[in-house]
Amino acid sequence: MAKLKLGPIVDEKPVKMTVELPAAVHRDLVAYAEIHGRETGGPAADPARLIAPMIERFIATDRVFSKARHAKVGNTSAS
């Protein structure tokens, strides 16, 4: 079986946010948490704890965002 993109969940000090998810996305998140728990050999994580690492992974792998962010930093430091 192929590995999930999401690795172990790091326990960091969180920033509280309220987010509304479509029911289908929530169901997928619960299922992902169950599969993630089996894959990592632990219990299923609280689905809410998966959101931040998923967003972090998405942002880290978005090449267009990375290029735009670096271009913005480069333009800011030249001022």
pTM above 0.75, yes or no: no
The predicted structure's pLDDT at residue 76: 59
CB 35 within 8 A of CB 45: no
Q: What is the pLDDT of residues 39-66, one digit of tens each?
A: 989 888 899 989 988 999 999 998 888 8
**By CB neighbour count within 10 A (0-12 exposed, 13-18 middle, 19+ buried), where does 15 fall?**
exposed
